[in-house]
Structure 1
Amino acid sequence: MESDAIERWSRVERQQHVPVMLDRVVALLTPALDHDAAVMVDATTGHGGHTAAVLERIPGVRVIGIDRDPSALALAGERLAGFGERWVGVHAVYDELLDVLAGQGLSHVDAVLFDLGVSSMQLDQRERGFAYAEDAPLDMRMDPSRGMTAADVLNTYPVGELTRILREYGEERFAAKIARAIVRARETEPWSTSGRLVELLYAEIPAPARRSGGHPAKRTFQALRMEVNDELGALRAALPASLEAIGVGGRVVVESYHSLEDRLVKQAFGAATRLDVPPDLPFVPAGMEPAFRLVTRGAEQASADETAQNPRAASVRLRAIERVTASTGGDQR
């Protein structure tokens, strides 16, 4: 059943889906990869769109594709098979980046790319439970082989914790009201499917609020997905690991779709590029320069034309950073 769903998605989506800000992402990566034996890590491989563009446009580069979703790796493997040994897929979460590199016999790479959030394939596979458009099991795990499901969260978390994740991850104004209703409802019947949750959200969110801001279930489903997959926790660990992983001239490029994700990226990149000398010092002493420089000025956004063609691009925030000096921990190219 799962393989059939992947095949159907593959046939249609490969023809229609273009990754957000694809040309800009490849342009940011190219200076780091335009040399012999360059290696990139695609930390969120998904269906392989970014990787395919890099492999097509930059001759000789190799890509290590990481994804926690076995279905995504299977799809990417089918799509990228023509590139032979220039691509290798690894089943892992991106906070395991340094372990993945060690397993590939690498001390560093030339670029790391993150395209955060849920993929189109995950949304389109009904049985995964990510989408609220139709009734499905409340799963939402990006790796279906491990971890708690969204149903587990709804059936076990106390009101206070449910309120926190709905407010923090979903930016849901009615978080406390919804959390109380979820707990009341599970006392009579455990949570198992998305349709029942959508009905509750329609009932608990006032009608005026439902008429603006998109589907009333959007924020709650986003919050549950981020909690189930510990997306912010993984990102907090992955960002410093990615900076450690790149050699001199290497770049890390991140596309975020949530304000909390972008804030973590901004903070990590800001800390890495901060000049740690007294502000009134007339010069920067040798050896005190930051090891990194920002490549983008602030967060870049998609154009109006791209957003009109691809609504997912509306919320993207793109940031990039480059290593300019070697780490004190060892030799880096």
Structure 2
Amino acid sequence: MMNLTEMVMYHQPVLLKESVEGLVWNPAGTYVDLTFGGGGHSRAILEKLSPEGRLFSFDQDPESAVNSEGLNLTFIAANFRFLKRYLKLHGVAKVHGILGDLGVSSHQFDIPDRGFSTRFEGPLDMRMDTTKTTTAASILNNYSEVQLHQLFGMYGEVKNAKSLAQAIVAERVQNSLQTVGDLKQILSRFAPKGREFKYYAQVFQALRIQVNEELDVLKELLAQCAEVLLPQGRLVMISYHSLEDRLVKNLITKGNLHGEVQQDFFGNIQRLFRPITRKPIVPSPEEIADNNRARSAKLRIAERIES
């Protein structure tokens, strides 16, 4: 596994101390890091484990595999939506804790060819798993105006989503949209003055979520967590926008992803988890100053209730 300096260059872990301390309650236990990335969280987890402890780390990005080495570590090159399936393949039914850092890694943002960032010219790709076929370009050039309108409105919370969708459909009749520059040229006509960067980020977020099916994947993952975690097992999730955080919060506080309180015959709320943190933990001003990408992070920690 790469050293700490190399990991920070690849991906600077967000809320590292808080998330790992909230996760590891039994050093001899079995844990899961859902988003290995550069290995920052995994490294910190391994440092807290005894020789009997085990860590399973998932990542669908082929570039992450090169960073994965360790006696107590098993790297799984797959999307975390298949959590239960891959743990079963390794003979594991229950674990002591699950950690997920749902953001895009610094490395992915900083590679122009990946197309995640508005800062660089590059192809409109945005795939976390580069073996998949759907890219941001294929969405922009093939989705209907109605589909684009819904996409930008729901996943990017773009105010003028309808007008933007119309402009993209009109533009692609003459010119196929293939690069970050192609898209930004259109976005510049609709971005509020002085808030261009935020507007670009909202649109890119919407496209990235759709390309990678991020919310569907998260729903599938969260639906498995209660079954996989042992009693007292910890669920530790770092989210970066309200759509992700709402799903995590609903599971922890309401026991389901829809946010509807469900009660038994006696009126008791049927919860699966007990919140460890009443409110989400957010990065300190010092961490944000050191790593600007941490600014929107929210950490929620919960404990599996005995069934």
Fold-level match, TM-score > 0.5?
Answer: yes
Pairing 1:267–2:259 present: no
- Secondary structure of 2:255's counterpart equals helix
Query: Runs of 5+ in structure 1 lacking a partner?
Result: 1-6, 327-333
* TM score, norm. by length of structure 2: 0.90
Distance in 1, matches of 2:47 and 2:61, equals 24
Pairing 1:98–2:84 present: yes
- Secondary structure of 2:46's counterpart equals helix
1:153-194 residue CA offsets vs partner (Å, 9 max, x unmatched): 001111111111111111111211111111111101211111
Distance in 1, matches of 2:36 and 2:293, equals 17
Which amino acid is 1:225 matched to?
R
In angstroms, what is the RMSD of aligned CA positions? Answer: 2.3
Query: Paired residue for 2:131?
Result: 145
Query: Paired residue for 2:23?
Result: 29
Which residue of the other structure, out of 174, 183, 188, is the alignment partner of 1:188?
174
Percent identity of the aligned residues? 35
Distance in 2, matches of 1:66 and 1:158, equals 34
Distance in 2, matches of 1:227 and 1:291, equals 29
Which amino acid is 1:276 matched to?
Q
- Rg bigger for which structure? 1
17-26 vs 234-243, greater mean Cα deviation: 17-26
Pairing 1:257–2:240 present: yes
Which amino acid is 1:57 matched to?
K
1:276-313 residue CA offsets vs partner (Å, 9 max, x unmatched): 3467x7xx7xxx97443111113221122222222122
Distance in 2, matches of 1:242 and 1:185, equals 44
Query: Paired residue for 2:75?
Result: 89
Query: Paired residue for 1:3?
Result: none
- Secondary structure of 1:217's counterpart equals helix
Residue 120 of structure 1: how far off its partner (Å): 0.7
Query: Paired residue for 2:223?
Result: 240
* Aligned partners of 2:226 and 2:272 also within 8 Å: no
Which residue of the other structure, out of 285, 289, 292, is the alignment partner of 1:311?
292
Query: Paired residue for 2:263?
Result: 276
- Secondary structure of 2:197's counterpart equals coil
* TM score, norm. by length of structure 1: 0.84
1:133-172 residue CA offsets vs partner (Å, 9 max, x unmatched): 1211111110010131111100111111111111111111
Distance 1:318 1:213, change over 3 A: farther
Residue 204 of structure 1: how far off its partner (Å): 2.6
Pairing 1:52–2:43 present: yes
Which amino acid is 1:249 matched to?
Q
Residue 210 of structure 1: how far off its partner (Å): 3.1
Greater per-residue helix proportion: 1
Query: Runs of 5+ in structure 2 lacking a partner?
Result: none
12-21 vs 110-119, greater mean Cα deviation: 12-21
* Aligned partners of 2:283 and 2:297 also within 8 Å: yes
Query: Paired residue for 1:115?
Result: 101
Residue 12 of structure 1: how far off its partner (Å): 5.4
- Secondary structure of 2:233's counterpart equals strand
Dislocated runs of 4+, deviation >4 Å: 10-13, 288-291
Pairing of 1:128-207 with structure 2 (within 5 A) = 128-205=114-191
